[in-house]
Amino acid sequence: MTMSVCCLLALLAASPAAEMTVARADPLEIAEPGFLISRNEAIADLDQVCVSLEAHAAPASLSEGLTDRVAERLKAEGVEHVECRTGVTPRLHIHVETVSLDGCGQTVYRVQTALSRIVTFTDHRELRVQADVWRVKPVMKAVADPNLTEAVTEAVLTQAEAFASACQAAKRLLRTSAALTAAPATEGTSAARAGPAMFVASKGSAVFHRADCRWARNIAEHNRVTYSARATAVADGKRACKSCQP
């Protein structure tokens, strides 16, 4: 029996925890040993996500009301849960797996949370895929059956808080980076950045676009604000256009 339990734990522990952490030599990367992926510039503009709870081989009672509790925890940190209407909506995937240990009165659980969103290849803007841009290391433990629901709930909420905290940290880093590199703003105008106009926004709008977006072409010249980098647009309080996905 001891041998079979050891084998089970070894199988569950293998895979995701052994993945390589993404390394980047730029000021927007936080070296956090608890994360497998931490691309901070990819989560700095998030204020809405779709929470998706996937419980495999788990009792129905375990996940009951858990999505609502995650939504409440995220909202407290400034991130709102919305319905998963389209593939464009960033998705916070919460994976819960359980395996009952027969005859032991215990269950092994594994919880891992990841954020996926549409990303565009730098050299091929027509290629867009759904990919994980943030993922925390999984939590895996064996607990007594009566304590399973409480233990899984705590693990899920802890990882949700870690995600919300990462979003806030990414926003602060972007603001700091933009402040260090931004050109002085002209009095009476929005803080347009020096350099090629890769991104465009209207002074009275909270949305920014690619320069070639059909919505950008409708902005009158006297209302046009330009940015040479995505990060500076986000730091200026703008959010990405859902049509062109800058």
State how far the Cα of 10 lies from the Cα of 75, in Å rounded to an integer: 36
Strands (E), the chain: 35-38, 48-56, 80-81, 91-101, 106-121, 124-136, 139-144, 199-202, 207-210, 224-227, 239-240
Which domain-ending residue is among 179, 212, 230? 179
% of the chain at pLDDT higher than 70: 71
Supply 55's token pair. Answer: 């419980």
Q: Which of 60, 61, 155, 64 is nearest to 113 (CA)?
A: 155
28: CATH: 3.30.160
Question: Residues 95-107: pLDDT tens digits?
Answer: 999 999 988 899 9
Contact 49, 92 (CB under 8 A): yes
Same domain, 175 and 188: no
Q: Is the pLDDT of residue 242 over 70?
A: yes
Question: Among 57-66, 94-103, 129-138, 167-176, whose mean pLDDT is lowest?
Answer: 167-176
Same domain, 33 and 131: yes
Contact 200, 240 (CB under 8 A): no
Residue 137 lies in a domain: yes
Which domain-ending residue is among 179, 196, 225? 179
State how far the Cα of 168 lies from the Cα of 162, in Å rounded to an integer: 10
- pTM > 0.85: no
Residue 63 lies in a domain: yes
Mean pLDDT estimate for the chain: 75
Residue 1 lies in a domain: no
Question: Residues 7-65: pLDDT tens digits?
Answer: 444 444 443 333 323 333 333 333 344 555 555 677 888 888 999 999 887 777 788 88
92 SS3 class: strand
Same domain, 191 and 172: no
Give, in degrees to the nearest 5, the angle at Cα 237 between 84 and 219.
Answer: 90
Separation of CA 206 from chain center: 21
Separation of CA 181 from chain center: 25
Same domain, 130 and 217: no
Same domain, 149 and 214: no
Residue 245 lies in a domain: no
The label of the residue with tokens 């647009």 reads: 233
Same domain, 28 and 62: yes
Supply 120's token pair. Answer: 């565009």
230 SS3 class: helix
Q: What is the count of structural domains for the chain?
A: 2
Range of the domain at 190: 183-240
Q: Is the pLDDT of residue 92 over 90?
A: yes
Q: Is the pLDDT of residue 243 over 50?
A: yes
Instruction: Give the bridge partners for 54, in sequence order.
Output: 95
Range 55-74 burial, b when 16+ CB lie within 10 A, else e = beebeeebbeebeeebbebb
Same domain, 88 and 194: no
